[in-house]
A and B are shown apart, each in its own frame.
Chain A
């Protein structure tokens, strides 16, 4: 189970890294999907509530699908100026290891590592993002990561958050950003 949790954590980290590096709808959707799968695997492996894990999975997937509705078309990966984000993805993982490293011997600890990495990197993305669609994608990822830190109610809340954020439009009605 620890191996499954580790796979889930790594997958979640890869997914959030994709969200962080992508600026277009496909990249965001796939990243969100990857994060969802990873966090769900980790939650199941660490013995969290099955209903909660299922809710997380469903919410994340729906949110990812909704992300394909609007925003810039394409993948938008590794655009100029994204190198710092790539570096940050690595550093955040290391920081997460430092924070929760003492409990890495058990599946719960490994799952927690993935969730912390997801949350931290998603936040970093939100602090620097300029486009609404990227912000919504990162927000959904952050919600999933935070929900994965808790149990049943948190997982359900995260799922609802991901769906809700997916429903928000990526373009504003008035002129502006």
Chain B
């Protein structure tokens, strides 16, 4: 693949942004069409260029610098995979989400910057790109509405600042932050922790409700989808880069255990929130954190199987991001989509998550327990989907997009059926590049992909057929339940039902009452404690002891006595 071809996908999106901005005045949806075409074309160029270029890693260094950082791009199997995931989500967004030309231009630009950031050849350049992405996403989010903007912006700002410090530390310790030039010993625990913090903030892979979940509470999903499509692959790319920097492993073994446990905990927490959600949207909001948790769990194992499973799971996450906005709040389509994004076979999400759990089980006894926790979270998530069919519809339900739904589901199913191929062509090369199998396992194939199945040391399973029958039966049941619930078949509300109970999903029916499986009312205790702390005030009888206002006024009102006091005090200190 020629070096210039590396620039083609981000360049296509950048050009699309300019054209969308300019031509958008002619027709309302012209910008979206241009952006969508550019995104699909970029996918084609990306795949064709990588495939026909011989799938050889490339590095390109420019003689100029940007923002004080030397400019360079690098493309290898992991970056190819992440860029493709980003482009797929972006393409689905631009194709099926109605938005004006200005917003479409912004989405294209953000996508172009994200692709360039993924391909950055140094940590400092990645930090710069992350900062630029965060800024563009803030504009995109705030353009529509203010909901969850500050939470996302604050988190992403912290992420790029932390990553910037990690890059600086790497430069100070190792002399450079260029990925291919950093000595292995330079990636010490403090640097890794900073990179990991940035990654977790970007992906929302944390046990509490993060911006990733809050985004879905918004009325318009387009801005949130863009943010997730860009940031989640970017965040996970940092952890993949950490493997490259450390020659296949992180600086300390306990880091692997820590992040694996954190991933499992994240998945469990997301599943818990999903099953206690008061609305379909809030339930769907937990699909990505659940997936991110399982992905993190697998990625942190430090095994080739884990890395491969994480890549496949990430593919499922990307398609989920593109599909979720197209799902209607009501109807069988919504239920089918929910089931697939929460890991029902035979979709890509199912295959990826299954491999994640399998990888954890195979990695050792401790990680096996974490894998079981992940599996439990998965099951609870599916239960949440089933419960969601009984949840009340929102006041203004989204109708979604039928064609978007079809496209997203089609891609998910295609990915699931073709999991073997994806494993062989995408996931395994990533794992091979980042860690050599011989250093982590005996000389046997750790993972293989057949035509219609996956081969693992613990056993083979046909991806396309496995669970297909169960899936068909399950989907049919869900459709029936959805039809039964949605068409107003005698769900009579009691006027005396408290709003709080309805918010927790309690619905009184003549036959049974549907509530959360696990009551998480104690979940809000830390927030309540924090609010009580904020409300603490010094008792009035002690406020006269320290007059901060007077001090503040003295500092700001040109008070010579204060200036003299400070100057003399400093003089005394200095002359000691």
Q: How far is the CA of A127 from the CA of B564 in the complex (A)?
A: 10
Residue of B nearest to A127 (CB): B560
Q: How far is the CA of A127 from the CA of B558 in the complex (A)?
A: 9
Q: For residue A127, which residues in chain B have a CB less than 8 angstroms away from its CB? A: 560, 563
Residue of B nearest to A124 (CB): B560
Contact code string B534-576 (vs A, CB < 8 Å = 1, else 0)? 0000000000000000000000000010010000000000000
Q: Is A177 located at the chain interface by the 8 A CB criterion?
A: no
Residue of A nearest to B558 (CB): A127
Q: How far is the CA of A33 from the CA of B418 in the complex (A)?
A: 97
Residue of A nearest to B559 (CB): A127
Q: How far is the CA of A128 from the CA of B563 in the complex (A)?
A: 13
Interface residues of A, dominant DSSP? helix
Q: How far is the CA of A7 from the CA of B563 in the complex (A)?
A: 33
By size class, the interface of chain A is under 10
Residue of B nearest to A126 (CB): B560
Q: How far is the CA of A127 from the CA of B560 in the complex (A)?
A: 6
Chain B min CB distance to A152 (Å): 30
Q: How far is the CA of A127 from the CA of B559 in the complex (A)?
A: 9
Q: How far is the CA of A127 from the CA of B563 in the complex (A)?
A: 10
Chain A min CB distance to B345 (Å): 81
Contact code string B482-500 (vs A, CB < 8 Å = 1, else 0)? 0000000000000000000
Chain A min CB distance to B560 (Å): 4
Chain B min CB distance to A83 (Å): 18
Q: How far is the CA of A5 from the CA of B373 in the complex (A)?
A: 89
Q: For residue B560, which residues in chain A have a CB less than 8 angstroms away from its CB? A: 127-128
Contact code string A53-68 (vs B, CB < 8 Å = 1, else 0)? 0000000000000000
Residue of A nearest to B561 (CB): A127
Residue of B nearest to A128 (CB): B560
Interface residues of A in 108-141 (CB under 8 A from B): 127-128
Interface residues of A in 42-80 (CB under 8 A from B): none
Chain B min CB distance to A87 (Å): 15
Q: For residue A128, which residues in chain B have a CB less than 8 angstroms away from its CB? A: 560
Chain A min CB distance to B230 (Å): 56
Chain A min CB distance to B562 (Å): 11
Chain B min CB distance to A7 (Å): 30
Residue of A nearest to B560 (CB): A127
Chain A min CB distance to B240 (Å): 62
Q: For residue B563, which residues in chain A have a CB less than 8 angstroms away from its CB? A: 127
Chain A min CB distance to B325 (Å): 61
Interface residues of B in 430-463 (CB under 8 A from A): none
Q: How far is the CA of A127 from the CA of B562 in the complex (A)?
A: 12
Contact code string B332-365 (vs A, CB < 8 Å = 1, else 0)? 0000000000000000000000000000000000
Chain A min CB distance to B558 (Å): 9
Chain B min CB distance to A119 (Å): 14
Chain A min CB distance to B295 (Å): 65
Q: How far is the CA of A128 from the CA of B564 in the complex (A)?
A: 12
Q: How far is the CA of A128 from the CA of B558 in the complex (A)?
A: 11
Residue of B nearest to A123 (CB): B560
Chain A min CB distance to B64 (Å): 43
Chain B min CB distance to A157 (Å): 24
Chain B min CB distance to A99 (Å): 10
Q: How far is the CA of A128 from the CA of B560 in the complex (A)?
A: 8
Chain A min CB distance to B571 (Å): 10
Interface residues of B in 241-288 (CB under 8 A from A): none
Q: How far is the CA of A149 from the CA of B560 in the complex (A)?
A: 24
Contact code string A25-49 (vs B, CB < 8 Å = 1, else 0)? 0000000000000000000000000
Residue of A nearest to B563 (CB): A127
Q: How far is the CA of A30 from the CA of B560 in the complex (A)?
A: 27
Chain A min CB distance to B86 (Å): 62
Chain A min CB distance to B126 (Å): 51
Q: How far is the CA of A131 from the CA of B563 in the complex (A)?
A: 21
Contact code string B509-526 (vs A, CB < 8 Å = 1, else 0)? 000000000000000000
Contact code string A73-113 (vs B, CB < 8 Å = 1, else 0)? 00000000000000000000000000000000000000000
Chain A min CB distance to B531 (Å): 46
Q: How far is the CA of A128 from the CA of B561 in the complex (A)?
A: 10
Chain B min CB distance to A134 (Å): 15
Chain B min CB distance to A58 (Å): 33
Chain A min CB distance to B572 (Å): 13
Chain A min CB distance to B35 (Å): 58
Chain B min CB distance to A61 (Å): 30
Q: How far is the CA of A112 from the CA of B560 in the complex (A)?
A: 25
Chain A min CB distance to B406 (Å): 74
Chain B min CB distance to A98 (Å): 11
3 A/B residue pairs, CB under 8 Å, sorted by A: A127-B560, A127-B563, A128-B560
List the 3 shortest-distance A-B pairs measured between CB atoms, nearest first.
A127-B560, A128-B560, A127-B563
